[in-house]
A and B are shown apart, each in its own frame.
Chain A
Amino acid sequence: MAGLELLSDQGYRLDGRKATELRKVQARMGVFAQADGSAYLEQGNTKALAVVYGPHEMRGSRSRALHDRAVINCQYSMATFSTAERKRRPHGDRKSTEMSLHLKQTFEAAVMTQLFPRSQIDIYVKILQSDGGNYSVCVNAATLAVIDAGIPMRDYVCACTVGFVDETPLADLCYAEESGGVSSLALALLPRGGQIALVQMDARLHQDHLETLIEAAMTACKCVSKVLDEVVRQHLQETSVLSR
């Protein structure tokens, strides 16, 4: 892609953001009445819908039930209209399975599963429009949905995808940046304690840059957590005013 500079000399990216600037986050909780918890989150042009059911009795094979904690079952899928070209196979392909596993690991770190032995919590996330940072948007949407469902969690889980260009870490990559050959790293963080739930990268990065990149990711995640906090508090105030 000749002529497209990921980071211009003045420090502006392709969409006019600065290096550490996040995309606009808009979110709503409780979008579905029939699910236990649900949330819709947009980060720039990436839109995700998360739905949570549970905790309920183990469905399917009872032998997979754990005697001391709940099983978290995640499913990630993309709508066929979410990408530039219509997606042929929205579920079951390797990418979706890998994402589902990552989401499961992330939420097992945050949800207090010991309170619900022998039961199952289902988290379903669907990407409605994909413009980069799919994993991060899914994690953020699923956090809101889990809070909406009233499932106890240690802390929020906030995620952000960061990349490294010209010695500068870029926060919250969009699709053009991700496919433009940037080494991207996705990080999921529990912001108050500063504990990392998951780090994922499959690109090449020099060892010296790793620490800077992770620092940038953690800062970006903390910014996301502030936004999510606002959304949750506002939702609580709205729902309580209505029911009183």
Chain B
Amino acid sequence: MSPMRLCVPGEKLCSVEDCNQGTGVYQRHGYIYSSLAGYVMRKNEGEELPVISVVRETEALLLPDVGAIVTCKVTGINSRFAKVHILYVGSTPLKDRFRGTIRKEDVRESEKDKISLGDVQSTYLLTTAENELGVVVAHSEAGAQMIPISWREMQCPQTNIKEFRKVARVQPEYLEA
């Protein structure tokens, strides 16, 4: 790769007509400026204008965005909802754990229970109401890691007890060898 250009916050990169905005940049008065200290990357999109973005070497700051697929760990269960800690957004780990909630009615698409109104939400609201979403790792009461049997049951290999979980049908491309 050709040596990439360093840039600092506030540096004018190009005009809006030359490139589209990517991450790490902002637009003002018809020009694109950098907002991070890092390297300028220009990606060619084919027919459209190239996308210009600024990247740092270390992991980018991530916040869970609406519509993102996240990986979380359940920290508490209630009859109405489960509290989770969000650990990964997509495939990048977060530096800090964010708190989230999965309400009972958001677990399955088909069996919808009563919806509670008026709760002030100050955490991220999550849902597992799709085939690819749900439990990926679970431990049984005996402590062993359970194996999924169907889309709603998992079995413990030590005691052979079946427990109910909403199992995720993970797409093959997400499964690593």
Write out, one digit per residue, whether chain B residues 70-103 have a CB within 8 A of any chain A CB (1) or not (0): 0000000000000000000000000111110000
B58 an interface residue at 8 Å Cβ cutoff?
Answer: yes
B37 at the interface (CB under 8 A from A): yes
In the complex, whether A221 has a CB less than 8 A from a CB of chain B is no
Q: Is B63 an interface residue (CB 8 A)?
A: yes
A147 contact set on B, CB distance < 8 A = 8-9, 36-37
Complex interface residues of chain A between 110 and 158 (CB less than 8 A to chain B) = 112, 116-119, 147, 150-156
Q: Is residue A239 within 8 Å, beta carbon to beta carbon, of the partner chain?
A: yes
Interface size class on chain A is 20 to 34
Contacts of B56 in A (CB 8 A): 150
* Max chain A C-beta neighbours (<10 A), residue from B11, B58, B63, B97: B63
Asked if residues A232 and B96 are in contact (CB atoms below 8 Å), the reply is no
Count of chain B residues with a beta carbon within 8 Å of a chain A beta carbon = 26
Could you tell me the dominant secondary structure of chain B's interface residues? loop
Q: Is the CB of B61 within 8 A of A151?
A: yes
C-alpha gap A196/B11 in the complex (Å): 17
Interface residues of A in 199-244 (CB under 8 A from B): 229, 232-233, 236-237, 239-240, 243
Contact A155 B38 (CB under 8 A): no
Pick from A63, A151, A156, A236: contact of B6, CB below 8 A: A236
Q: Which 9 A-B pairs have the closest CB atoms?
A: A155-B10, A152-B35, A62-B122, A56-B96, A153-B9, A192-B10, A147-B37, A150-B56, A57-B98
Q: Which residues of A contact B (CB under 8 A)?
A: 36, 55-58, 62-63, 65, 112, 116-119, 147, 150-156, 190-193, 229, 232-233, 236-237, 239-240, 243
Beyond A152-B36, A154-B33, A156-B8, list 7 extra A-B contacts (CB 8 Å). Answer: A57-B96, A119-B63, A154-B35, A192-B10, A192-B11, A232-B37, A236-B38
